Amino acid sequence: MKCTKTSFQKIHQQYRIVVECKNRTTKLALAGFCAEEQTEATLFRYLYNMCLLSDGSLVSTHGLLCGVLQQWQNTLSIPSAQLLKSVAFESPLAKLQALCLYRTKVGEEEKLINR
């Protein structure tokens, strides 16, 4: 995904939402999007609320994310987003260890910013 400057010359950062399964060896990127760095605090709140609503399974978390990503795009002025459409996993009801948010700034390596 390539992030660009908007007409106001605001630089968007790249973000990925990644889940880690309880076995800690399986990580799965559920979504990727571009957003302004100033929206991170709001993203943290949204992800926290999503964790509270989820039963902790991959299927539940993915379903919630599918339901809210379009709303996030409108609320946070996210110009582009990619979402994993379906989850084909050996155990889709497997419990998750963590929901992580990664950020990549222009010219830098990806960094975990919230878990």
Q: Per DSSP, which regions of 9-110 are E strands? A: 12-21, 27-36, 80-83, 96-104
Q: Tell me the per-residue pLDDT of 28-45, one tens digit each, with 9 for 90 and over.
A: 889 998 888 888 888 889
pLDDT given for residue 115 in this prediction: 80
For residue 80, give every residue at least 6 positions away whose Cβ sits within 8 Å of its Cβ, in sequence order, or none.
1, 3, 33, 34
Query: What's the pTM?
Result: 0.81
pLDDT-derived band at 8 (thresholds 50, 70, 90) equals: very low
**pLDDT > 90: what percent of the chain?**
10
What is the rounded average pLDDT of the residues 78-107?
A: 80
What is the rounded average pLDDT of the residues 73-98?
A: 78
What is the rounded average pLDDT of the residues 70-88?
A: 82
What is the rounded average pLDDT of the residues 69-73?
A: 86
Nearest CA to 58 out of 101, 17, 24, 92 is that of 92
Per-residue pLDDT at 97 exceeds 70: yes
